[in-house]
Amino acid sequence: MTDEFDEIEPGRRSGAHRQESAASSNVGAISLVIILALVAVLLVVAAINIIFSSMGNPESKIADPPASESASAEPSPSESEVSVADDSITVDVLNGSGVSGAAKKFSEAVEEKGWTLGQVGNYSTNLTDSTVYYNGDENESQAKLVAKSLGIKATETSSDFEADVTVVICSDIADRGPESSEGGSD
């Protein structure tokens, strides 16, 4: 049986003749979508890795020198203010300023003054003024001496930190580094 579409005049097209779809053309499109999806996933994973690696603590990769093992017989402070560093006090130095290397500079000053250096690293804070935190009233006088030795004005009691004394360096003093003072000398 024939119809009008089977008898086409030369040079004239009529009707809707469609070519049968080839399975290979669909496979190509699907392959392209899969490849683009994989590239997108790899880009997202790479971005996440970059973000997390930038949040890491670059100062933790620096080897800390061993703490001084000298056993000095210093009297326990009887006054509210002391003038000698107690090497039994552990002092953590945390960089909350975002200035690279600030915690390292201040931690070296803490060791030079005679305290036992604890953790040195970064700290996330919205504060702009550096503060020396102490854990327990018995550490208050040493915290004040640490603050005075480093040129920090504020001291505050806090149980948020594990060390006896924790120095949080903020943007107010991070660029200038620790101040030289007579406090805490051996």
- Bridge partners (DSSP) of residue 166 are 92, 133
pLDDT at 157 over 90: yes
Q: What one-letter code names the amino acid at 128?
A: T
CATH number at residue 141: 3.30.70.2390
Domain count along the chain: 2
Which of 62-71, 72-81, 91-100, 139-148 has the least mean pLDDT? Answer: 72-81
Q: What is the pLDDT of residue 72?
A: 47
Rounded to whole angstroms, the Cα distance separating 25 from 22 reads: 6
Q: What is the pLDDT of residue 63?
A: 56
Asked if 121 and 184 sit in the same domain, the reply is yes
Q: What is the pLDDT of residue 49?
A: 87
pLDDT band, very low/low/confident/very high, at 183 (cuts 50, 70, 90): very low
The pair of three-digit structure tokens given for residue 153, joined into one six-digit string: 């004005």
Q: What one-letter code names the amino acid at 52?
A: F
Asked if 93 and 141 sit in the same domain, the reply is yes
Q: Which domain holds residue 104?
A: 84-186
Asked if 120 and 186 sit in the same domain, the reply is yes
**DSSP letters along 52-92, please?**
HHHTS-GGGGSPPPPPP-----PPPP-SSS--S--TTSEEE
Domain membership flag for residue 77? no
Domain membership flag for residue 40? yes
Domain membership flag for residue 9? no
Tell me the three state secondary structure of residue 134.
strand
Going by the DSSP 8-state scheme, the letter that residue 101 receives in this structure is T
| pTM metric for this prediction | 0.52
The pair of three-digit structure tokens given for residue 135, joined into one six-digit string: 């854990």
Asked if 97 and 174 sit in the same domain, the reply is yes
Asked if 27 and 110 sit in the same domain, the reply is no
Q: Which residue has the higher pLDDT, 99 or 133?
A: 133
pLDDT at 133 over 90: yes
Domain membership flag for residue 75? no
pLDDT at 22 over 80: no
CA 52 to chain centroid, in Å, comes to 9
In the chain, the percentage of residues whose pLDDT exceeds 70 is: 68
